[in-house]
């Protein structure tokens, strides 16, 4: 049965796009060396022109951050710093709809997600960390922990504003100043956040935002005036940054890729588990480092679960991200679409069976249908490599021990899921899965009070909670939490 829905598009009029955006340095938008365009991945229309920050622009940003650090931010009492963060949290709430619409325009994710997840969580992150600013002495990192200085932060395109919040809020709460490089394809909410910093009267230079491509990120990370680097992105780039920081001695935290196992036991409530599987891999079109991209289902219920999963997938609505009924939005860029398509064809070439939900794809923009592969072996690339798209690989197991063995058979270790009614089995699994976050009978939950981060090649350091503060305080060995 197929239900028809009337279109329910969110209004774009709440967003006022400028033709061109400068670099946010020292509290003002300033011109840079060159410009590039950012497009809507759902329509390929040009949204705005954005400035590319070259090395001299990054120099200016770091200098502004250094000055703000030394003269203002590091000497300001924590309770005053906290008030600025509370202000920012409130401003994000006040401008929530505008941020959500802009995020969806620039990123391609469904408005339902940006409205209900990205933006509220971003505000919550600032609200949570605001309260830490004057309580750091009680956080367990010594009697009066000091900030690190100027922090260089490079963030990805999958949760542009939320990743900004994860990075900027703890850095500022701990007394650091920031040079942030948003992703090349999703700079707009960061630039709107710059306006929010202005509205909050945040002292100039405390937050600096330099837009650009990978070379800009590299300039930020390599800049000698940067004391600490925080990066969220691919494992390959993370390793390069780790090598550079090994020599320069900069503090480093990394939040990298994943290939999470979502383990479904035979006693799991089927409907809930299927919702969990769908949320695990199709939330944000699978553009999630902790996505449950490997489904491990117990052999005895594999057929039943797959049947229910395919029925559910057939009901997913793919299309206009601005439509409030849309479940699956656009792939963020042509390059990412090509990567997903390439990996998916490798699945077919290596002998796995491909099934895609029968949904029409829009003519313009970048789209990939929700897809599931069965008959996947652990040797297949689709079982080993992060796909970062709406593609699920299904493997089966017979015993809990086999499930653990297969789940842990990856160089990654960011997240994992477990579905069963047995409490003892949940805790047994949770203690054996080598992953930084374990979701039991749920998946893809996030909270500013909950530490997030990976084992092994998924990176090091935690974001969120008391644990996340360590990355931004001058604690010996800090960061490798």
Q: What tokens does 469 get?
A: 């503060």
* Distance between CA atoms of residues 257 and 289, nearest Å: 5
Does residue 235 belong to the site contacting another protein (CB under 8 A)? yes
Among 254, 260, 261, 392, binds another protein (CB under 8 A): 254
- The nearer residue to another protein, 376 or 438, going by C-beta atoms, is 438
Least distance CB 474 / another protein (angstroms): 12
- Identity of the residue, 353 or 480, whose beta carbon is nearer to another protein in the bound complex: 480
Residue 419 DSSP code: E
- Restricted to residues 396-415, the positions that interact with another protein (CB under 8 A) are 411
We find the least distance from the C-beta atom of residue 283 to another protein, in angstroms, to be: 15
288 counts as binding another protein under rule CB under 8 A:
no
Determine which residue in the list 183, 366, 456, 473 makes contact with another protein, applying CB under 8 A: 456
69 sits near another protein (criterion: CB under 8 A): no
For the bound state, the minimum distance from the C-beta of residue 445 to another protein, rounded and expressed in Å, comes to 5
**For another protein, the closer CB: 50 or 481:** 481
Distances (CA, A) of 157 to 188, 196, 422: 11, 20, 38
Beta bridge partners of 355: 372
Using DSSP, state whether 410 is helix, strand or coil: coil
Candidate list 209, 322, 436, 469; residue touching another protein; CB under 8 A: 436
Q: Write the CB contacts of 332 (distance below 8 Å, at least 6 apart in sequence).
A: 41, 107, 108, 157, 158, 185, 186, 287, 366
User: Given the complex with another protein, which of 323 and 457 has the nearer CB atom?
Assistant: 457
Smallest distance from another protein to CB 96, Å: 16
* Helix, strand, coil percentages for the chain (3-state, nearest 5): 40, 20, 40
Nearer to another protein, 29 or 132 (CB): 132
Asked if 450 and 462 count as a contact pair (C-beta separation under 8 A), the reply is no
481 binds another protein (CB under 8 A): yes
Burial of 442 (0-12, 13-18, 19+ CB in 10 A): middle
- The site for another protein, by CB under 8 A, has a size of 44
Characterise 319 by phi-psi region: left (phi > 0), alpha (psi -120 to 50), beta (else). Answer: left
| Partner residues linked to 479 by β-bridges | none
List 12, 71, 135, 243, residue binding another protein (CB under 8 A): 243
Interface segment toward another protein; rule CB under 8 A; list 3-11, 226-234, 306-314, 432-440: 432-440
Q: Is 234 in the site for another protein (CB under 8 A)?
A: no
Known catalytic residue at 359: no
Which residue in 76, 341, 359, 430 binds another protein (CB under 8 A)?
Answer: 430
Nearer to another protein, 78 or 120 (CB): 120
**For 222, which DSSP code?**
H
Concatenated DSSP letters of 226-264: --EEEEES-HHHHHHHHHHHHHH--EEEEE-----EEEE
DSSP for 256-298, written as a single string = -----EEEE-TTS-HHHHHHHHHHHHHGGGG--TT---EEEEE
Pairing of strands 371-374, 228-232: unpaired
Tell me if 449 contacts another protein by CB under 8 A.
yes
Contact window for another protein (CB under 8 A) among 12-20, 172-180, 375-383, 464-472:
464-472
With CB under 8 A as the contact rule, the residue among 150, 226, 435, 469 that binds another protein is 435
228 lies in the site for another protein, by CB under 8 A: no
- Is there a catalytic annotation at residue 275? no
Contact in structure between 429 and 403 (CB atoms under 8 Å): yes
What would the DSSP string read from start to end of 51-113? EEP-HHHHHHHHHHHHHHIIIIITTS-HHHHHHHHHHHHHHHHHTHHHHHHHHHHHH---HHH
297 pairs with which residues across the strands? 264, 396
**Would you say 249 or 360 has its CB closer to another protein?**
249
Residue from 21, 126, 452, 472 touching another protein (CB under 8 A): that is 452
> Could you say whether residue 447 binds another protein (CB under 8 A)?
yes
What stretches of 182-225 show up as alpha helix (H) in DSSP?
188-199, 214-222
Asked if 440 interacts with another protein (CB under 8 A), we say yes
Of the candidates 221, 437, 469, 473, which one interacts with another protein according to CB under 8 A?
Answer: 437
Catalytic choice (245, 289, 386, 470): 289
- Residue 478 CB, nearest approach to another protein (Å): 8
Contact 205, 67 (CB under 8 A): yes
Which span (68-76, 101-109, 212-220, 444-452) binds another protein, by CB under 8 A?
444-452
Question: What would the x/- binding string for another protein be over residues 113 to 142, using CB under 8 A?
Answer: -----------x---------------x--
User: Residue with structure tokens 């999703």?
Assistant: 186
C-beta atoms surrounding 160 within 10 Å? 29
Catalytic machinery residues: 255, 289
Residues in contact with another protein by the rule CB under 8 A: 124, 140, 235, 238-239, 242-243, 246-247, 254, 256, 411, 426, 430, 434-442, 445, 447, 449-453, 455-457, 459-460, 462, 465-467, 475-477, 480-481
């Amino acid at each position: 049965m197929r239900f028809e829905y009337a279109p329910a598009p969110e209004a774009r009029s709440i967003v006022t796009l400028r033709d061109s955006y400068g670099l946010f340095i020292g509290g003002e938008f300033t011109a840079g060396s060159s410009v590039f365009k950012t497009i809507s991945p759902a329509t390929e229309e040009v949204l705005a022109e954005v400035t590319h920050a070259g090395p001299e622009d990054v120099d200016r940003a770091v200098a502004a951050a250094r000055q703000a650090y030394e003269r203002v931010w590091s000497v300001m009492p924590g309770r005053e710093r906290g008030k600025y963060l509370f202000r920012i949290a409130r401003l994000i709430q006040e401008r929530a709809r505008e941020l959500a619409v802009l995020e969806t325009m620039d990123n391609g994710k469904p408005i339902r997600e940006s409205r209900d997840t990205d933006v509220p969580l971003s505000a919550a992150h600032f609200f949570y960390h605001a309260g830490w600013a004057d309580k750091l002495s009680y956080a367990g990192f010594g009697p009066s922990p000091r900030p690190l200085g100027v922090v260089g932060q490079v963030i990805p395109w999958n949760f542009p504003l939320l990743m900004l919040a994860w990075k900027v809020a703890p850095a500022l709460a701990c007394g650091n100043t920031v040079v942030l490089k948003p992703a090349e394809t999703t700079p707009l909410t960061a630039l709107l956040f710059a306006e929010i910093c202005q509205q909050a009267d945040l002292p100039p230079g405390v937050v600096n935002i330099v837009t650009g491509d990978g070379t800009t990120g590299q300039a930020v990370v390599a800049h000698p005036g940067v004391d600490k680097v925080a990066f969220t992105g691919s494992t390959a780039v993370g390793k390069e940054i780790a090598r550079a920081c090994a020599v320069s001695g900069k503090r480093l935290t990394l939040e990298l890729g994943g290939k999470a196992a979502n383990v479904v036991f035979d006693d799991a409530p089927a409907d809930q588990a299927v919702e969990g599987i769908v949320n695990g891999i199709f939330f944000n079109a699978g553009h999630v480092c902790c996505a449950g991209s490997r489904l491990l289902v117990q052999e005895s219920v594999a057929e039943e679960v797959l049947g229910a999963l395919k029925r559910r997938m057939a009901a997913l609505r793919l299309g206009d991200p601005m439509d409030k009924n849309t479940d699956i939005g656009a792939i963020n860029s042509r390059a990412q679409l090509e990567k997903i398509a390439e990996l998916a064809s490798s699945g077919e070439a290596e002998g796995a069976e491909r099934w895609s939900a029968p949904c029409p794809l829009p003519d313009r923009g970048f789209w990939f249908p929700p897809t599931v592969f069965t008959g996947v072996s652990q040797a297949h690339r689709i079982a080993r490599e992060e796909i970062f798209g709406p593609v699920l690989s299904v493997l089966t197991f017979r015993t809990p021990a086999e499930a653990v063995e297969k789940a842990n058979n990856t160089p990654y270790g960011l997240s994992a899921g477990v579905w069963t009614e047995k409490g003892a089995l949940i805790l047994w699994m949770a203690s054996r899965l080598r992953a930084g976050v374990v979701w039991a009978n749920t998946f893809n939950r996030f909270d500013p009070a909950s530490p997030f981060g990976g084992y092994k090649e998924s990176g090091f350091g935690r974001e969120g909670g008391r644990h996340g503060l360590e990355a931004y305080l001058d604690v010996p060995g800090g960061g490798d939490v």
